[in-house]
A and B are shown apart, each in its own frame.
Chain A
Amino acid sequence: MSMYPIASAQGNGSGAIYFNNIPQNFTHLQVRIFGRGGTASTGSNIYTNWGGSGSATTFSDHILNGNGSTASSSANTGLSYIFGGTMFPAASSTANIMGVCIIDILDYTNTNKYKTIKMLGGNDQNGSGQVILASGLIQYSGAITTGYVDTEGSFTTSTTVQLYGITTA
């Protein structure tokens, strides 16, 4: 099998979920989030950042969003994190509804490339929802060794986050 579990975490309602000392023996990384935010709203955004020693301090991101009635896109530059849009339900949403987000980071150990991450995710709340394809640019050519994911009000304890390493031939 080419996809190996590296680490698993659960939301704790009190802060971001961090991954440190990421092994350097894979080609690609994938993060899978089954999540819900703790903020008093029906939606909660994803914030993420990946890097290493001497990593970038500002990031850009781009988002393609569909909300059931319209499709739109948006962009941010100069942020201190990568913003991926409203991937998750939150405390004002119906109980037991979760959102999903899959993050792909290709060639994460390549020291000649800035890192482009891709986020595909969304949530449906029986009459409203969001589906999102988003990207983030990390202007850092070092190997990725650390990262975090976060949301408003932090991820609830029902949230699970898995980090996988993917090999190539």
Chain B
Amino acid sequence: MSIFLQPLQTVTLSSSTNSINFTNIPQTFTDLKIEISARSDRAINSPSLGIKFNNDSASNYSKTVIYGNGGAGSYNSSNNNEFDGPSITGSSDTANTFSNSVVYIANYANSNYKSIITDSVIENNSSTSGTYLLEMMAGLWRNTAAISSINIFENNGNNLISGTKFSLYGVLRSGI
């Protein structure tokens, strides 16, 4: 099996903004992968991104999460109006620090519901519980449409700061 990773679109913020969009996503790949280096201006540790596919705001999103923040645990949430996506760095975290996150969307052009996995690490120069976060999540978008656009936004209405970067890739599997 060979795997081909094709850079599709990159958004690097030169000023603060709440959201970014990937549009006109080609339908010729098997999976999508988004590398995220992000920081919010929200004054907490580890705020989160929201993600919508094809601008769908219906209650079609759900997720299951495992996390570590000094303790460790797992939870899920369902029937959400957006994918409450990976956590990112907030303005209460160490200055100049950005999250390191991946969103992987399998079979995005397939007619099944869409399964998503993410992992994210939020660094902070602290060992105090609750001031850092490591998390992995599985997500579901209950929609059979092919994904042609992705809207990513700061989930509390705050802004993503300058330097935040989103790199979208198409993943093509062949020879399976």
Which residue numbers of A lie inside 8 Å of B, CB to CB? 1-3, 27-28, 60, 62-65, 71-73, 75-77, 104-107, 110, 112-114, 116-118, 120, 133-137, 139, 141, 166-169
Contact = CB atoms under 8 A, between A and B. Distances in A.
Contact of A136 (B70, B73, B123, B167): B123
B132 interface: yes
Given A1-B5, A63-B134, A72 B125 contact: no
20 contacts: A2-B7, A60-B127, A75-B70, A75-B128, A76-B127, A77-B125, A104-B35, A104-B100, A106-B37, A107-B98, A107-B165, A113-B163, A114-B97, A116-B97, A118-B119, A134-B121, A134-B134, A137-B94, A139-B94, A169-B167
Interface stretch (B61-69, B76-84, B106-114, B148-156): B61-69
Interface-central residue, B94, B126, B167, B169, by most chain A CB under 10 Å: B167
Contact of A77 (B4, B102, B127): B127
- Size category of the B interface is 35 or more
Contacts of A75: 70, 126-128, 132
Contacts of A166: 5, 35
Given A113-B37, A169-B10, A139 B98 contact: no
Given A72-B68, A135-B100, A137-B125, A64 B134 contact: yes
